[in-house]
Structure 1
Amino acid sequence: MKKDSNLFNFAFVTINALLLGLGSLCLGLRSIFSAGVLAGWDKGQLLIFSSYTFGLFTLIALVLGSIFLAYPLLRKNKKLLFGITIFLDWIFLIYLAADAFIYPLYRTHLNFAMIQMTFLGGGRIISFSLPMIFEIAAWILGLGLLSWIFTFISFKLATFKKLSLTALVLVLAGFCCSNLCYSWGFANFNTRLVSVFDKIPLARPLRMNTQLQKLGLIDKKAIDARKVSLDEHGKLNYPLNPLVCKPSKDYNILFLFVDTLRYDMLTEEVMPNTWKFALKNSRFNNHYSNGNNTRHGIFSLFTGLPGNYWTGSLSSGTPGILLIALQKRGYEIGIFAGAPLNMPEFHKSIFAGISNLPIYPRGKGAVDSDAFAVEDFEKWQSSLKPGSRFFSFIFFDSVHAYSFPKESKYEVFKPYWGSINHMELNNSFDPAPYLARYKNSVRYADNLIQKVLDYLEEKHLLDETIVVISSDHGDEFNDNKLNFWGHGGNFTDAQIKVPLVIHWPGKKPANIEYMTSHLDLVPTLLPEVLGCENPTEDYSVGMSIWKEAGRRNWVYSKGWSRDAFVEPNRIVLINAAGALEFLDKTYRPSKDKTIPAYIPEVLKENSRYLK
């Protein structure tokens, strides 16, 4: 009898695992369908995706279920086993459903960092409107009902022990075959095959390069030529040598950054104040952020380093070289942000060492916090001793939150989306009202920028202050009809090209067309303002933003799980497996699959500042 009971429990766990694997596959198919991936796939890719997804999550569920069955109380008490299984299935399905929602929008699978920033970011990462909350609640309840159905079916079918074992063997056999396909595809640089696994959450497919090399089925030199690894290991050695900075004409420096500001918003129609200011100063029309997210975009701005060094900066508490140089020269430093500075952890990385750093903004929402940021900057600057040089970074968050005061002067673009519900976004969704709301929030940010500029004018500071106006990254509204929304999902111009306006006392107005990036700000300011004599290579991979000669015709940009080299006519993508993919500027496959000659140079740059 005990033997029958054990077989029943094992069959129950097996059938439940198979049902969860099937549910995972359905959610995965929904995810890639919403992302528009299926349209470009052949039957082989779809088969590999299905067999791997089905097998992976069946295996995960089977292992978890077997662990719980190890407890005698659960083996004996069927009601308790039934209840716990429903709960575990529910959590399992909620995770997969959330990933199926996240991936089509951002092309990034759900991870701890995203969960942390969403739910611990004070609603400033993703705002949950009332319709969205109701829809999420409906999904959660529906998944709870589905969990009960899965558990009920598993109990009813647990008597079919041989059938359940046969089904499990077939699913796991398909899982093994899909792993072998990946191993071959990875070793032979079959991008179409390898890229399938990027679409599967928690995917860790098998690699067999050594075994395949021994069998003579692959060429090791060919693999090394086509595989790029920019992963950072080790502690920072940054700067390479101590800064040597001699007195020069010091200017005040003010960074005015608007979170999530696209390059094409700098127009007379959308940002009339900033546009008027730009016409009198230097406007860079081909400027890029070095990240498609805030973390990497701002990190590169303050360090002059690629985003791969972020982990080293955070773990060692190494601040940005710009702030190191400013503190060395005795600058007063004021940081004023409309968003928390611990999400991402700027307070422990680029701003480490700044005393009295205001980590949390004042105000209940982005609109209030941005207004308070301007107010606090003015109070702080007014309190400085006469003749003090200052650096300030004001970071506006209202555009990122799509927020603006409900006043006629900001409700310029109509009709606009009154209540944002991210769950409605798909490839057929009309972006016009969403974009109109975004533009209204940009108009509010433009007004705040003007308030700061008016203050500098009033205090007669503009002639002795360098003002930099830009953004950490852009924002997409399905520009290329591939169902990309927001940022962090790709490296097209919509997501990483940003405006840049520089007011530099004594420089004539200029309209600059050559390619620049945030990496170029540090190697401009350190020698030309702070008098630092070190060679640029001591602290940055960029170059002076004023120099056109010798400039690269590509920009390095980092994402959550991918990196990219953005060229004038294509994007060379480094996927999670370290393999190169070649895309055009609309994020579709490029005909030009030439491996860039600059890859060795980039690999050196990503290890230069490590001990």
Structure 2
Amino acid sequence: MPFMSRVSRFWLLALLPLAALLWRFSAFMPPMTPLSALYLVLTLVGWYGLLLGLLALASSLFALLPRRLGATLVVVMGACAGALAWVDLEVFEQYRFHLSPFVFDLFFSEPGEVISFSWLTWLAGIAAMLGCLFICVGLWHFSRARWPSWPAWTLVALCFLSSQLWHAVADARADSRITVLTRNLPAYQPLTAKRFMVKHGWAKAHTETQALDFHQKGALRYPLSPLSAHPKQKLNVLYLLVDAWRADELNPQVAPNISTFAKSPDTKRYLNHYSGGNSTQAGIFSLFYSLPATYWGAFAGSQQGPVLMDWFKENDYAFGIYGSATLRSPAFDKTVFSGISPLHSQAGEEKRWRRDSNSVEQFGQFLEQRDPKQPFFGFLFFDAVHAYDFPPDFESKVEPYWQRVDHIKLNNDFDPTPYRNRYRTAVRYVDSLVGKVLEQLKAKGLLDNTIVVISADHGEEFNDHHKNYWGHGSNYSDAQVKVPLVIHWPGKEGGEVSYRTSHFDLVPTLAQDLFDVEAPLTDYSLGQPLSRQGDRPWLLVGSYYNYALKGNNEMVVAYPTGQTELLSGDLSPLPGRPPAQAIKAALTWMGRFYR
């Protein structure tokens, strides 16, 4: 009997107990419909059948060894795969994250400090390993029976293709009954093709999404307790956010209008403020949810909006949402503004500066047409700074500036001055638009009853530390995560605040000082009110693919590969190990709002 044929049958047989074990992850998923259950079955057979097929190819090399040794290695490999799946299930049940190189690094480098198991868990693990070994010995025995394996592998391939295509369509059509399941499965990376499908007419480009009824029974447990919001006074709230605006570019030379406004009565400027991430997705998410950016996938999959926006809805606020860039990528229409309509976007306009100008005009029309007896929540997201764009005839240019952005020229020896001056010119332009919005509010007498929040999603780097970093999303230095924050709050004392604050603090501040929410902050937020000055040795910041703990003069960066680095503020490596207790606290927060 050919050894490779037997190996193929062994791994096919192994798919049965593996799929049965992985089905237990459904306990962490929302209640499934027949269709979502079918999708899960196709995924278990298709995706994990593909992974076992790769193991079959790898273990076929054992045919080069003596027959008994090769068979033993195949059985041991199968037992190890099954034991890893069981350990992943136990880890996920306790911490709500899957096994990764980072988890192994934490476990072995800081034993018992971050990830710990009781003696009973260890005993169960040993029993699981022995059980997997026993099962695999039996599977190897049954693989002696001669039957063709190609029909079964064909079925695996069909399940794989159908489940991946199903997920891609569900993602494009915002069908969270499917997408909400994916984060719960280990080693799973489903296919997405939203833009491709919309472009070819295979999915509809939704302008709005509605939260589905099963959210409250989903994998998320957010908030942890019922919340009741009753405003002390119905003040309007307006967010003016500038994409890619770093903290040190809020000054009279670059942003004269905002700098002047920051010194006006009832207005406070926060000098040491940090975004929740170095990217738009992470920054906006942290600002509205007051949760780590690692929750993005779960909230986007379930289309669950933040409690902050629920409070505005419950208290009959009118919404004026104006994004210069698309609000669909990142999917803020499924998260921050889920269930809110209409959402206005200028994404079809080529020039970013014109998008920003159009948004200001539309917001002015919103102020004219709204019911003055109804409070409003406004949101303007300016994109010109992110694109280093401004009108050709804009007079307040910062000289000398780069006439054309050419990223291929950027290197460690490049003089950033003309590049940064172009960026500063874009900031000046957006500052002029913010000035127009503030004048509109002043002319209508709205500054007396409107909370105005002026900030950014993240910063922008110009090789500040001479390590050839440009732009954002690449590290967690102050250049990329420290941002301006100016808040005008009628009736509150103005001035400047020097202690550290975070995007996580906006929701708690509005919860307590505007909506009079009495529930514990930790039931819905990682932050604290902006008025609370306290020791915050670490801030949790994130990106699209990793996260970091940012201290006053150092940071701990965790990578998807499992590597962790302890860096200084200028990104230089520091000796020593990452602080175990800080990492443990961060992991607790990153799993706190999962069931």
Pair in the same fold by TM > 0.5: yes
Q: How far off is 1:464 after superposition?
A: 0.4
Correspondence 1:431 to 2:431: no
Correspondence 1:222 to 2:110: yes
Q: Which residue of 1 aligns with 2:357?
A: 371
Amino acid at match of 1:338: S
Give the secondary structure class of the aligned counterpart of 1:443: helix
- Verify the 8 A CA contact 1:232 1:308 in the aligned structure 2: no
Correspondence 1:540 to 2:540: no
- Verify the 8 A CA contact 1:227 1:578 in the aligned structure 2: no
1:408 & 1:309 partners in 2: Cα distance?
41
Q: How far off is 1:223 after superposition?
A: 4.8
Q: Which residue of 2 aligns with 1:168?
A: none
- Verify the 8 A CA contact 1:362 1:368 in the aligned structure 2: no
- Verify the 8 A CA contact 1:226 1:579 in the aligned structure 2: no
Q: Which residue of 1 aligns with 2:509?
A: 524
Q: How far off is 1:327 after superposition?
A: 0.4
Correspondence 1:585 to 2:574: no
Task: Summarize deviations over 1:451-473 as a string: whole Å, max 9, x none.
Answer: 00000000000010000100000
Q: 1:395 to 1:242 in 2, by over 3 A?
A: same
After TM superposition, the structure 1 = structure 2 runs for residues 545-584 of structure 1, keeping only pairs within 5 Å, are 545-549=530-534, 551-584=535-568
- Verify the 8 A CA contact 2:565 2:578 in the aligned structure 1: no
2:593 & 2:101 partners in 1: Cα distance?
32
**Most deviating of 452-461 and 232-241:** 232-241
2:485 & 2:520 partners in 1: Cα distance?
25
Task: Summarize deviations over 1:41-86 as a string: whole Å, max 9, x none.
Answer: xxxxxxxxxxxxxxxxxxxxxx9xx9xxxxxxxxxxxxxxxxxxxx
Unaligned segments of structure 1, at least 5 residues: 1-62, 67-203, 211-217
Q: 1:301 to 1:544 in 2, by over 3 A?
A: same
After TM superposition, the structure 1 = structure 2 runs for residues 337-376 of structure 1, keeping only pairs within 5 Å, are 337-361=323-347, 363-376=349-362
1:317 & 1:521 partners in 2: Cα distance?
21
Aligned counterpart for 1:380 among listed residues 349, 358, 366: 366
**Most deviating of 300-309 and 236-245:** 236-245
Q: Which residue of 1 aligns with 2:592?
A: 608
Equivalent residue pairs, number: 399
Correspondence 1:445 to 2:430: yes
After TM superposition, the structure 1 = structure 2 runs for residues 172-251 of structure 1, keeping only pairs within 5 Å, are 220=108, 222-223=110-111, 225=113, 233=184, 235-251=219-235
Amino acid at match of 1:500: L
Q: How far off is 1:235 after superposition?
A: 2.0
Q: How far off is 1:246 after superposition?
A: 2.5
Q: Which residue of 2 aligns with 1:43?
A: none
Q: 1:461 to 1:607 in 2, by over 3 A?
A: same
- Verify the 8 A CA contact 1:338 1:395 in the aligned structure 2: yes
Unaligned segments of structure 2, at least 5 residues: 1-53, 58-98, 117-181, 185-217
Task: Summarize deviations over 1:493-535 as a string: whole Å, max 9, x none.
Answer: 0000000001011122211011111000001102211222221
Q: How far off is 1:562 after superposition?
A: 2.0
Task: Summarize deviations over 1:421-441 as a string: whole Å, max 9, x none.
Answer: 111111111111100100000
Correspondence 1:460 to 2:445: yes
2:233 & 2:484 partners in 1: Cα distance?
27
Correspondence 1:291 to 2:277: yes
Give the secondary structure class of the aligned counterpart of 1:267: coil
**Most deviating of 465-474 and 354-363:** 354-363
1:466 & 1:396 partners in 2: Cα distance?
18
Task: Summarize deviations over 1:7-64 as a string: whole Å, max 9, x none.
Answer: xxxxxxxxxxxxxxxxxxxxxxxxxxxxxxxxxxxxxxxxxxxxxxxxxxxxxxxx9x
1:312 & 1:459 partners in 2: Cα distance?
41
2:292 & 2:100 partners in 1: Cα distance?
28
Q: 1:247 to 1:276 in 2, by over 3 A?
A: closer
Q: 1:432 to 1:242 in 2, by over 3 A?
A: same
- Verify the 8 A CA contact 2:281 2:543 in the aligned structure 1: no
Correspondence 1:598 to 2:582: yes
1:207 & 1:444 partners in 2: Cα distance?
43
Q: How far off is 1:599 after superposition?
A: 2.5
- Verify the 8 A CA contact 1:573 1:580 in the aligned structure 2: yes
Q: 1:400 to 1:227 in 2, by over 3 A?
A: farther
Amino acid at match of 2:229: C
- Verify the 8 A CA contact 1:341 1:360 in the aligned structure 2: no
2:281 & 2:104 partners in 1: Cα distance?
34
Q: 1:266 to 1:206 in 2, by over 3 A?
A: closer
Q: How far off is 1:297 after superposition?
A: 0.4
Q: 1:570 to 1:596 in 2, by over 3 A?
A: farther
Q: How far off is 1:287 after superposition?
A: 0.3
- Verify the 8 A CA contact 1:342 1:359 in the aligned structure 2: no
Q: 1:219 to 1:402 in 2, by over 3 A?
A: closer
Q: 1:232 to 1:292 in 2, by over 3 A?
A: farther
- Verify the 8 A CA contact 1:553 1:568 in the aligned structure 2: yes
Q: 1:269 to 1:387 in 2, by over 3 A?
A: same
Q: Which residue of 1 aligns with 2:293?
A: 307
Aligned counterpart for 2:395 among listed residues 409, 419, 422: 409
Q: How far off is 1:207 after superposition?
A: 10
1:295 & 1:438 partners in 2: Cα distance?
21
Aligned counterpart for 2:241 among listed residues 251, 257, 272: 257
- Verify the 8 A CA contact 2:276 2:502 in the aligned structure 1: yes
- Verify the 8 A CA contact 1:313 1:350 in the aligned structure 2: no
Give the secondary structure class of the aligned counterpart of 2:325: coil
Amino acid at match of 2:333: H
Aligned counterpart for 2:491 among listed residues 506, 510, 516: 506
- Verify the 8 A CA contact 1:516 1:545 in the aligned structure 2: yes
Correspondence 1:492 to 2:477: yes
Q: Which residue of 2 aligns with 1:81?
A: none
1:222 & 1:493 partners in 2: Cα distance?
28
Give the secondary structure class of the aligned counterpart of 2:454: strand
Quick one: percent identity of the two aligned structures? 40
1:377 & 1:504 partners in 2: Cα distance?
20
Q: 1:545 to 1:371 in 2, by over 3 A?
A: same
- Verify the 8 A CA contact 1:303 1:522 in the aligned structure 2: yes
Q: 1:608 to 1:232 in 2, by over 3 A?
A: farther
Q: How far off is 1:350 after superposition?
A: 1.4
Q: Which residue of 1 aligns with 2:457?
A: 472
Q: How far off is 1:594 after superposition?
A: 5.1
- Verify the 8 A CA contact 2:549 2:557 in the aligned structure 1: yes
Q: How far off is 1:209 after superposition?
A: 6.9
1:522 & 1:219 partners in 2: Cα distance?
34
Correspondence 1:274 to 2:162: no
- Verify the 8 A CA contact 1:336 1:393 in the aligned structure 2: yes
Q: 1:482 to 1:239 in 2, by over 3 A?
A: same
Give the secondary structure class of the aligned counterpart of 1:340: coil
Task: Summarize deviations over 1:356-390 as a string: whole Å, max 9, x none.
Answer: 22245463321111001111111112211122100
RMSD of equivalent CA atoms: 2.6
1:396 & 1:208 partners in 2: Cα distance?
38
Amino acid at match of 1:524: T
- Verify the 8 A CA contact 2:538 2:582 in the aligned structure 1: no
1:472 & 1:516 partners in 2: Cα distance?
14
2:352 & 2:101 partners in 1: Cα distance?
45
